Structure formats: C-alpha cells, structure tokens
Amino acid sequence: MEFLLTVLLSGVQNGLLYALVGLAFVLIFRVTGTINLALGESAVLGALLGYTLVVSLGLPLWTGLLGVAVAGGAIGAATDMLLIRRMRSRSPLRVLVLSFGLALVLQNLWKLFWSTDIYSLPQFPGVPKVFTVFFDRSVVPGQALYVTLLAAVVFGAWAFVLWRTAVGRDMRAVSSDAEVATAVGINARRTVTGAHGIAFMLVAVVGFVVSPVLFLNYAGGTLLAVKGLVATLVGGIHRPFGALVGGLLLGIAEAATAGYYSVDWKDVSVFGLLILVLLVRPNGILASSKEQH
C-alpha cells in the first residue's frame, strides 16, 4: 500500500509539472491555433539563469524568480514579434517547424553560456527536505509543495482571467476570429504577443521552481516540452483544464510504469497513452461527443 502511495505522489508531482508546461501550449494555441515547440527551452532558461542569479551572483531568491520571469517573457514576446509575425504564411505547420528550429538555436545558446553541466538550485526555504506520509513509509520532496502551490495559483488565475476579465474576453475573441476581433476594436497583434510572452514566462518560472528536484542542462527542454504537449493533447487542447487532466494522467502512468515495471519504459507509457487516446478520443478526454466527430 505504501509503495502505491509513493507511486501516486510521484506521479502527481510530475503530472503537475507537465500540466503547467501544457497550459503554456494552450495559452498560445487558443489565440493562434499553432504549437510553439520552443517553450521547453524557456524552462531550461529558468533553471540555468536562476542558478546564475541566485547561486553564482548571490541574489535573493525572489530577485532570481523575477529575473527569470522577465527573461522568459521577453523571449516569448520577441519570438512572436521578430519571427512568427513576419512569416508570410503563418500556417500551423510552418510555425511548428520554425519553433523547432528556434528551439535548437536556443538550446545551443544555452550550451554556449552554461556548457553541458547540470545545474540545480538549492531547495527553497520553509519546507523540510522531504515530507513523510503513511506512517513514515512514503516520502515526497519538500520542494513538491512549491510546485503544487504554483500549479494551484496558475490554474486558478487562468480560470479567473479567461472567464472574468477583458483580457480573457479578448483571447476568446481572437481565438474565434482574429479579423472580426480586430474589426470590433480588439488589438489582435497585442493579444497574440501577450500570449507568447505569458506562456514563455510561465514555463521559465516552472523551470526555476522545479530546478531543485529536476536537474536540467542545456538540452533538457525538448523532452519536457513534448511531454507538456502530450498532456494537452491527452486532456484536450481546446479545453481550459485539459492540460491539468492530461498532465496528471501522464505523470501517474509514467510513475506506475517506472515503479512496477522498469524506468526504461516510462517514456513508452507516456507516448503509448497518447496513441491510445488519439485513437479513441482524437480531441482529448475532456472533449464533448460532438467535438470527437
């Protein structure tokens, strides 16, 4: 029983990570209908730049977090303004290919700045190194509390902004029809650029917060981005909380495979789940029956 609980706790922790990255994909997809694979490199930036600011330069933790957020947001906004916006044809396939190329460019820039070493921030203050549960038979890293709090704040804010603010209204309008939204006075370009900036900022902050338990080097963003994307596809990329549901399912499936069978097969379970869901429910688990046809 205690081993099962350990597997579930580990799966939920990883699942929240995938869900947060997946939400960044949703933010961009909702206003552009495209996928930006460079998002994973923003997580690496959050971890590596955070290490430089907090450990190497000795800045306070909150200052490092702020610096990481600003850097991630700037890269996201610049991605849209300097690259995607200037494309003659912003078809989903062309944007996908461009973003993959950008991911490789950023990956090599991180390699130049931080070499191939693995960096990790020290555990954040205020929590024990590990939490023990189930009569001290199961443990979970103390940093998991910060990951959980971040997920709660982000998804709560996402729901509020999407349904209760003018920004959310503009996002929904641009997502439905950018030309009509522009005709009624909504600045579609600013909305799209803002979505890129917020998405990259979110993933950079995620990389910063999970750095004490997820050791990253310059090449660590690609697989993380792919798993975040898989989470959104499994849950339903058109649904506000599809990333959360998909992320938790992926995390638990991954942890169960590693715990009960072999760690070498955990990625197989992730992509196997994606294939199964796409065969049975092509638009994701949360999609309505009408959306599946």
Q: How far apart are CA 145 and CA 178, in angstroms?
A: 39
> Is residue 242 within a helix (H) or strand (E), and if so which, with residue range?
helix 242-260
**For the CA atoms of 222, 228, 102, 201, what is the dihedral angle to 10 degrees?**
-120
Positions in the chain whose pLDDT score sits under 70: 1, 88, 133-138, 175-179, 184, 287-293
Structure confidence at residue 1 (pLDDT): 63
Q: Residue 103: is it exposed, middle or buried by C-beta count within 10 angstroms (0-12/13-18/19+)?
A: buried
- In this predicted structure, what is the pLDDT of residue 228? 93
For the chain, what are the domain ranges?
2-220
Predicted local distance difference test score (pLDDT) of residue 126: 85
Query: What does the pLDDT read at residue 153?
Result: 94
Question: What's the pLDDT at 176?
Answer: 66
Q: How far apart are CA 165 and CA 183, in angstroms?
A: 20
pLDDT at 151: 94
pLDDT at 174: 74
Tell me the torsion sign for CA atoms 82, 88, 90, 96. Answer: negative
pLDDT of residue 283: 84
Instruction: Report the share of the chain in percent with pLDDT over 90.
Output: 45
- Running DSSP on this structure, what letter comes out for residue 128? -
pTM of the model: 0.91
Angstrom distances, CA of residue 273 to CA of 36, 37, 289: 22, 20, 20
CA proximity to 46, closest of 260, 172, 199, 194: 199
